Amino acid sequence: MGADARNMLVAREKIKKDMAGGGKANITINDLVCFAVIKALGKYPRINSHLYGETLRLFRNVNLGIAVDTERGLMVPVIRAADKLDINEFSLQASYLSDKCRKGSVDPDIIRPEAASFTVSNLGNYGVEMFTPVINLPQTAILGVNTIIPRPADLGAGVYGFVPYIGLSLTYDHRAIDGGEATRFLKSIAEEIENIEL
């Protein structure tokens, strides 16, 4: 699914201007997407879960795993209780943990698949337009974030133009999550991105 990224890009430009004026956190596009994911998970708690055999374990908080490319391979540090953080706090933690992973000094406990309740993997920086991320079991789903590309869209009043869309790919475990629920969740992420407010 694609999400209209115009509001998100406007928010990112505003953040960059605020940084030039002394703002603290360098909030990235990935941070903004993760923020939208966290909000959508609040509406779809069954997806914020682990599956152990026949048992589905739901989490009260969103423990969000963020895939980080390092020289040692892919690592997925976890931001615990990410739903309790504002966007600045989230961005600072994400940056800190990504840096720790790249330096090889991250706490092994926060890169175990069991530590996260849901994971986001972003290949947009590499220009990837579509991919299928692999679930970090026992998690029940993972979101792949693709690059932003212009697509033709109806702008209203008979006017058409190109609009930046960000691609979203959801992989989910059908034993735990019904296809309809997964689709509605993905649509909710897209809506959160399209209507992002900081």
Active-site amino acid positions: 174, 178
* Strands across the sheet containing 141-156: 2-4, 159-172, 141-156, 118-122, 64-66, 78-79
Q: Which two tokens stand for residue 156?
A: 């209203």
Cβ distance 121 to 65 under 8 Å? no
Closest CA to 40 of 179, 170, 173: 170
**Which residues on adjacent β-strands are paired with residue 39?**
none
